[in-house]
Structure 1
Amino acid sequence: MKLADVQFLAGKAAEIRLNLLKMIFKAKMGHTGSSLSDTDILTTLYYDVMQLRVDEPDWEERDRFILSKGHAVESYYCILADMGFIDKEELNTFCQYQTRLIGHPNNKVPGIEMNTGALGHGLSIAVGMAKAAKMDNKDYRVFVLMGDGEQAEGSVWEAAMAGAHFGLDNLIGIIDRNRLQITGATEEVMGIEPLVGKWRNFGWQVLEIDGHNYGELKKCLSSTPVEEGKPTMILANTIKGKGVSFIENKAGWHHRVPSASELNQAVEELSPLIGVDIDG
């Protein structure tokens, strides 16, 4: 990628991280660590890879995205607001009474395809969408982002079989491999390794990357299908809580809300990366 492209994505990701922290702080609830870890993935998808029309959210030829790890919705909402799918002021209603911006993706919000949150469902939905594209001779791709703790759900592997069986090379799965879930390390809660070997054995083409490296993200997300007739799984190695020093790699921040002093510290760390002065 060009340096300018990397700088833009890095600045945008820092802005999204800061906005989601402010949103969680105001709401006094949210999934902080999970949203911070997938921000670079979503930023690359939405600002550089996917074909979308903000003024026509239901455009038939659009690429589809499913946030299967629906609890990490904060980064998703902030990106949709920044792009113009919804008004930025609506972020202030997150998790408030009668809001559209509930704690998991809500398809009443423009730009969101499906309600998600019950882990293990997103890949099955994505398989159906990708199969529909094939049946209708459409060229759109279907992206689905899963958590690594989610890999313990049996429905994930049923969908994995179906995706390979139907040769859905327009289907791109992404695993946010931050190695932490709400109760601790994934390998202690329910061992899921070897993930690369498992997905390959299920008939998928598998790529392993640094989930915070924009060059690697763009290359993998843009170069699909990697192999004709096979769905692609991208194993994105990430850091839970990425971008805020005192949140990184701490399982306790899965569902923790920052205090006022912690938010101010995050503002100090993230603002220089945005390139403009931000009022914390």
Structure 2
Amino acid sequence: MEIQALKIKAAQIRMDLLTIIHRAKTGHTGGSLSNTDILTALYYEVMNIDPSNPKRADRDRFIASKGHSVESLWCVLADLGFFPKEELETYSQFGTRLIGHPNNKVPGIEMNTGALGHGLPISVGMALAAKRDGQSYRVFCLMGDGEQAEGSNWEAAMAGAHYKLDNLVGIIDRNGLQISGSTEDVMGLEPLEDKWAAFGWNVISVDGNDMEQLVRTFRSAPEVEGKPTLIVANTVKGKGVSFAENVPAWHHHVPNDEQLELALAELSATIDQLSQEGQVHRS
């Protein structure tokens, strides 16, 4: 897909995730909005996946360690055809497969995740298995920045470097906010890049809401042979909805009817603008 088309797709995914959160009256809105560009770049342009054969042996693996921000992932998987899009209407309803964290009863989900700090250790194991089995697939693990307070991440970081897992790509959704406020007030992380580099990872910092940067960076990993890659994706929590951006309360705030209408109108206007820009570019 062209970069402009990916941006439009990300806006459409944001509209979908807001709609299912509003319908279910539950969800993690801010983090799902901030990680949508990351997921769009990975799933529509970078990863080797096949919705018609989700268990194909050579598929790239994606682990959503920050599993509470699952709504964007559900919407991406449905849009790609891993399961019927109509099933999104059951999100967080009684008996649904589409619960509030990734659930491996759903095609396209590798592992149940959401207990923070568990995703990267799982990803290290998957990447190590690929190396030992002579497989070429890559493993992508999306973490939250608040999640960096979990010690298991740093044990996994040490192991990833020790085993020279250059088929492993860790991503931190660095939006600077967590449930109780700023990450730097709750548990300071800086200098975050230096810490990961000291653990033996090749560290890249990008604008996590810039589609072109994301696609280019994900495609190029690994840049350094024998080292796992850590991408610090600097994002805006609540991205795409002006009144939700950088507002801590939107971590798990559910939009009311009026807020949903306003948000969908903003995103629809964004799509219109991107479409016009694309037409101008092509002409």
Match for residue 119 of structure 1?
Answer: 116
Whole-angstrom CA distance in 2 between matches of 1:117 and 1:204: 24
Once the 2 structures are TM-superposed, how far is the Cα of residue 159 of structure 1 from its aligned partner? Answer: 0.1
Match for residue 239 of structure 1?
Answer: 236
Whole-angstrom CA distance in 2 between matches of 1:171 and 1:235: 14
Whole-angstrom CA distance in 2 between matches of 1:224 and 1:30: 32
Matched-pair contact (CA < 8 Å) for 1:10–1:273: no
Once the 2 structures are TM-superposed, how far is the Cα of residue 274 of structure 1 from its aligned partner? Answer: 3.0
| Identity %, equivalent residues | 64
Match for residue 35 of structure 1?
Answer: 32
Match for residue 170 of structure 2?
Answer: 173
Whole-angstrom CA distance in 1 between matches of 2:4 and 2:213: 15
Once the 2 structures are TM-superposed, how far is the Cα of residue 226 of structure 1 from its aligned partner? Answer: 1.0
Once the 2 structures are TM-superposed, how far is the Cα of residue 49 of structure 1 from its aligned partner? Answer: 0.2
**Pairwise mapping of residues 155-166 of structure 1 onto structure 2 (< 5 A)?**
155-166=152-163
Whole-angstrom CA distance in 2 between matches of 1:227 and 1:215: 21
Q: Is 1:188 equivalent to 2:185 in the alignment?
A: yes
Once the 2 structures are TM-superposed, how far is the Cα of residue 5 of structure 1 from its aligned partner? Answer: 1.2
Once the 2 structures are TM-superposed, how far is the Cα of residue 224 of structure 1 from its aligned partner? Answer: 1.4
Whole-angstrom CA distance in 1 between matches of 2:75 and 2:211: 19
- Matched AA of 1:35: S
Q: Is 1:197 equivalent to 2:172 in the alignment?
A: no
Whole-angstrom CA distance in 2 between matches of 1:57 and 1:259: 35
Aligned length: 273
Whole-angstrom CA distance in 1 between matches of 2:189 and 2:209: 22
Match for residue 269 of structure 2?
Answer: 272
Q: How big is the alpha-carbon RMSD for the aligned residues of Structure 1 and Structure 2?
A: 0.9
Match for residue 279 of structure 2?
Answer: none
Q: Is 1:101 equivalent to 2:92 in the alignment?
A: no
Whole-angstrom CA distance in 1 between matches of 2:113 and 2:228: 21
- Which one of the candidate residues 7, 11, 25 is aligned to 1:10? 7
Match for residue 229 of structure 1?
Answer: 226
Whole-angstrom CA distance in 1 between matches of 2:77 and 2:133: 28
Q: Which sections of structure 1, spanning at least 5 residues, go unmatched? A: none
Whole-angstrom CA distance in 2 between matches of 1:164 and 1:197: 15
Once the 2 structures are TM-superposed, how far is the Cα of residue 214 of structure 1 from its aligned partner? Answer: 1.1
**Mean CA deviation greater in 4-13 or 35-44:** 4-13
Match for residue 42 of structure 2?
Answer: 45
**1:101-132 deviation per Cα after TM superposition (whole angstroms, max 9, x unaligned):** 00000000000000001000000000000000
**1:111-156 deviation per Cα after TM superposition (whole angstroms, max 9, x unaligned):** 0000001000000000000000000000000000000000000000
Whole-angstrom CA distance in 2 between matches of 1:125 and 1:16: 27
Once the 2 structures are TM-superposed, how far is the Cα of residue 225 of structure 1 from its aligned partner? Answer: 1.1
Whole-angstrom CA distance in 2 between matches of 1:172 and 1:79: 20
Match for residue 207 of structure 2?
Answer: 210
Once the 2 structures are TM-superposed, how far is the Cα of residue 273 of structure 1 from its aligned partner? Answer: 2.8
**1:8-31 deviation per Cα after TM superposition (whole angstroms, max 9, x unaligned):** 011000000000000000000000
- Which one of the candidate residues 80, 85, 110 is aligned to 1:83? 80
Partner secondary structure for residue 97 of structure 2? coil
- Matched AA of 2:83: I
Matched-pair contact (CA < 8 Å) for 1:178–1:237: yes
Partner secondary structure for residue 144 of structure 1? strand
Q: Which sections of structure 2, spanning at least 5 residues, go unmatched? A: 274-283
Matched-pair contact (CA < 8 Å) for 1:105–1:117: yes
Partner secondary structure for residue 73 of structure 2? helix
Partner secondary structure for residue 40 of structure 2? helix
Match for residue 277 of structure 2?
Answer: none
Matched-pair contact (CA < 8 Å) for 1:182–1:254: yes
Whole-angstrom CA distance in 1 between matches of 2:44 and 2:109: 16
Q: What is the TM-score of this pair, normalised by structure 2?
A: 0.95
Match for residue 71 of structure 2?
Answer: 74
Q: What is the TM-score of this pair, normalised by structure 1?
A: 0.96
Q: Is 1:22 equivalent to 2:42 in the alignment?
A: no
Q: Which runs of 4+ in 1 moved over 2 A?
A: 272-276
Whole-angstrom CA distance in 1 between matches of 2:170 and 2:114: 17
- Matched AA of 1:226: E
- Which one of the candidate residues 238, 252, 268 is aligned to 2:249? 252
